[in-house]
Structure 1
Amino acid sequence: MIPLIIDTDPGVDDAFALALALASPEVDLRAVTTVFGNVPLASTTDNALRLLELCGRPDVPVAAGADRPLVHPHPHRARYAHGSDGLSGRASTLPTPSRAPAEVDAVTLMTEVLTAAEQPVTIAAVGPLTNVALLLAAHPSVRSKIGRLVVMGGGLDVGNVTATSEFNIWSDPEAARRVLVEEDLPTVVVPLDLTLRCGVDLDWLAALDAASQVGSALVGLTADYQRYYQRMGWQGTVLHDAVAVAEAVSPGLLTSTSYPVDVDCTTGPARGALLADRRSALISTESGVDQRRRVDIALDADLDRVRAFVLDRLRAL
């Protein structure tokens, strides 16, 4: 079994990511922690509770985390893509939570889960990295309990908030730099460069809709999200966070390459950009860049296999 913590800001694609983890028999989902992001913290936390209820797992503890970035205010939410409540305005159609959030905060819950774990725990971070940065800063002793960190974030050749920056990293670049540059954990970053290529079409959504009540409910959350991608020329939707969780529950599903990385924390037009040095090893070494921390960046995959993997798991719910 893969012990797993999901740190998330639901979010339509986060909803599919959570459901995928719950549908994966090799996963032991130990906790869900929430963070500001697509919508404010109160909404992301309520959405997480409702999604666990939908999937029949209200027993998984949920703890609310950071409601703002480490340094600068969050400029805006992502209602333009995810709707007013983060779930296309349809959060209220999901079951009412039968449990309240944990009395402890997200960092405390993560620390408790990691401290108690008898084997390394995977953390799938599919929102801004504020909670993870705070965890590693305040509780450095738990680093040894983290087997792998899988992050949905960044875009090497494309952004979705600015020309260079992806939403999760851009939402708190200082936290992202702390986690991706200053720490030393086995890390896989799943960027827009790959997740956009893994987009699912209307037939894929129809197959999930017909599979079960849970599948139908998930597809029902995508209305605003689909309209956003239709404006970009895609008939269907893009499940960014589910692609990252697919790698968390099935290591090696995505093909990764190791690069030295940095995060732009300036206040200029490239703020929030994930910078990977893709030059030859010789040039990187001679320039001293190769001394920086390297992370694995997932830039390729068998796209049909990824889509089928997510669909087959979700249909089983």
Structure 2
Amino acid sequence: MWLDCDVGHDDAMALILAASSPHLKLLGVSSVYGNSSVENTTANAIRVIQAAGIKGVKVYKGAAKPLVKNRVYASDIHGSSGLDGTDLLPDPDMSTYLAQDENAVNAMHRTIMASPEPVSLAAVGPLTNIALLLSIYPEVIPRIKTLAIMGGSMGIGNTTSAAEFNIYSDPEAAHIVLHSGISHIALVPLDVTHTVLATKQIIKRIQDEVAVPKFARLITDLLLYFGSTYKDVFGEKEGAPLHDPVAVAYLFMRNVFTERHIRIDIDCNEGHGRGRTFCDVYKKTMEPANCWLVTSVELEPFWNQMFRRQEIANSSGPSVASGSSAISNPTINNGQQIDSSLIIGNPLGEDGGVASPESQGGGDVFANVVGGSFTEVNSNSANKDNIVANSHTTTFNGDSGETVNGDLNNIGDSQQVVTFRRRLMDRRDNVPNSGMNSGGAAFSF
């Protein structure tokens, strides 16, 4: 997938979700003006990537203004930088993470055309970059699997009484995108995202369950600031809505959403209605459907996904002490050779398949650290201190050729008995340390 974003507070959470989900492979990130200037949103994307320890992803600078009208920013919500409210974000390493010789539109075109499989897009800012892509390079249209848009409203807007911010920022771009002929466009409107609130209970859960206090504080700083501005501007007392991650989640957990295939049009005229999304829910216009309108999301599975991804970002970010977990690829590292003190085959415990984590650099290999199950786990890792499967693993094949069924026993070259619990807090507080040999760095988080 590709993420097009104007990184502010909710975009930061969307970026973490996109980069850490084992169901998605994040191919690139493009920035666009919106919550702040494109210079700020580009820098913000890089700062989040660094803080979350996201590897192998470049940021491509995109449009600085709308196609037709003057730009608007959301500094009243996101602050002057677009990501105000914390002092824990690093200075952006532009030389490492910003693509210097390619803009966002050309990068999206190159990536989509080079991909052996259709590519999904999540657009969570103004749609200027996407409209330019589809207009300049229409050959990408049949190669886009799904376009998930955070934008619009079935009723009241949040920028004017009629219009939601992303659509209002560039209605002409939104019109181009919705009428482009992409086979699967999904619109996630305010009516849905306003049900996904970062309440006090959610923030408390982050504080309790994210194992590294510095990363927990970073996330809660951002959410508390976002909540305070939402209260000041909109009178929302329960917490800020996490708009943008909902659109990313649609790409890999569509089963928790309800939706209707309808006609949606955009008001591009001047006046009070500019930027309004006309959602023909009752099919009065007789025009063909062009969009899946999302009408609800199940909150519990959504938040469970968000917490799991924050846990992975927490364990791979630079705030983690030296020697603790390093996640180069949040999905299964099948056959991948990585020099690291800890290789995670399946960090989130998603069920399924064969995992083959490999390590050349020594340290510890964990087939599955949080839960879930594999049919088979294979590891042929040189110079390891410990190889550990877990109690959900059906079969483990280590260097010694041992097979483990059911409960975890001594495995490979290690003489340990370790049972892993489902959540990272359980892992931090409750994993027994008996039999740990001195060479391992597995529990230094």
TM over 0.5: yes
Q: Does 1:268 align with 2:268?
A: no
Counterpart of 1:214 in structure 2: which amino acid? F
Q: How far is the alpha carbon of 1:164 from its aligned partner?
A: 1.1
Q: Does 1:87 align with 2:93?
A: no
Q: How far is the alpha carbon of 1:261 from its aligned partner?
A: 1.0
Residues 83 and 225 in structure 1, CA contact (< 8 A), matched pair in contact too: no
Give me the whole-angstrom Cα distance separating, in 2, the residues matched to 1:209 and 1:63: 33
Is there any run of 5+ residues in structure 1 with no aligned partner, and where?
A: none
Residues 264 and 274 in structure 1, CA contact (< 8 A), matched pair in contact too: yes
Please name the residue that 1:217 is paired with.
Answer: 218
Please name the residue that 1:145 is paired with.
Answer: 143
Q: How far is the alpha carbon of 1:59 from its aligned partner?
A: 2.4
2:147 is paired with a residue whose SS is strand
Please name the residue that 1:15 is paired with.
Answer: 12
Residues 262 and 288 in structure 2, CA contact (< 8 A), matched pair in contact too: no
Please name the residue that 1:132 is paired with.
Answer: 130
Q: How far is the alpha carbon of 1:58 from its aligned partner?
A: 4.3
Counterpart of 1:303 in structure 2: which amino acid? L
Q: How far is the alpha carbon of 1:84 from its aligned partner?
A: 1.3
Give me the whole-angstrom Cα distance separating, in 1, the residues matched to 2:245 and 2:216: 14
Please name the residue that 1:77 is paired with.
Answer: 73
Counterpart of 1:146 in structure 2: which amino acid? I
Residues 261 and 289 in structure 2, CA contact (< 8 A), matched pair in contact too: no
The structure with the largest alpha-carbon Rg is 2
Give me the whole-angstrom Cα distance separating, in 2, the residues matched to 1:189 and 1:118: 26
Q: Does 1:54 align with 2:60?
A: no
Structure possessing the higher relative contact order (Cα contacts under 8 Å, 6 or more residues apart): 1
Please name the residue that 2:356 is paired with.
Answer: none
Residues 209 and 217 in structure 1, CA contact (< 8 A), matched pair in contact too: no
Q: How far is the alpha carbon of 1:32 from its aligned partner?
A: 0.1
1:249 is paired with a residue whose SS is coil
Please name the residue that 2:303 is paired with.
Answer: 307
* 1:111-260 to 2 correspondences below 5 Å: 111-210=109-208, 211=210, 212=212, 213-231=214-232, 232-260=235-263
Q: Does 1:96 align with 2:91?
A: yes
Is there any run of 5+ residues in structure 2 with no aligned partner, and where?
A: 314-445
Give me the whole-angstrom Cα distance separating, in 2, the residues matched to 1:316 and 1:59: 16
Distance 1:255 1:215, change over 3 A: farther
Give me the whole-angstrom Cα distance separating, in 1, the residues matched to 2:180 and 2:44: 31
Out of 2, 25, 50, which is 1:5 matched to?
A: 2
Deviations 1:212-248 (A, max 9, x none): 3434312222343111222313232211001111112
- What TM-score, normalized by structure 1, do the two folds share? 0.91
1:175 is paired with a residue whose SS is helix
Deviations 1:38-87 (A, max 9, x none): 0000000000011111111242011001000000111x310101111111
1:257 is paired with a residue whose SS is strand
Q: Percent identity?
A: 35
After the TM superposition, which of the residue ranges 95-104 and 55-64 deviates more from structure 2?
95-104
Distance 1:23 1:93, change over 3 A: same
Counterpart of 2:263 in structure 1: which amino acid? P
Structure 1 vs Structure 2 CA RMSD: 1.6
After the TM superposition, which of the residue ranges 11-20 and 226-235 deviates more from structure 2?
226-235
Residues 44 and 92 in structure 2, CA contact (< 8 A), matched pair in contact too: no
Counterpart of 1:86 in structure 2: which amino acid? G
Q: Does 1:45 align with 2:48?
A: no
Q: Does 1:277 align with 2:274?
A: no
Over 4 Å off, 4+ runs:
none
Give me the whole-angstrom Cα distance separating, in 2, the residues matched to 1:104 and 1:260: 35
Give me the whole-angstrom Cα distance separating, in 2, the residues matched to 1:46 and 1:209: 26
After the TM superposition, which of the residue ranges 119-128 and 305-314 deviates more from structure 2?
305-314
Q: How far is the alpha carbon of 1:203 from its aligned partner?
A: 1.7
Residues 58 and 97 in structure 1, CA contact (< 8 A), matched pair in contact too: no
Higher helix share: 1
Counterpart of 1:311 in structure 2: which amino acid? F
Residues 32 and 62 in structure 1, CA contact (< 8 A), matched pair in contact too: yes
Q: How far is the alpha carbon of 1:23 from its aligned partner?
A: 2.1
Give me the whole-angstrom Cα distance separating, in 2, the residues matched to 1:306 and 1:249: 11
Q: How far is the alpha carbon of 1:89 from its aligned partner?
A: 4.6
Deviations 1:180-236 (A, max 9, x none): 134333111100000001112112112223403434312222343111222313232
Distance 1:182 1:28, change over 3 A: closer
- What TM-score, normalized by structure 2, do the two folds share? 0.66
Q: How far is the alpha carbon of 1:315 from its aligned partner?
A: 2.7
Counterpart of 1:217 in structure 2: which amino acid? L
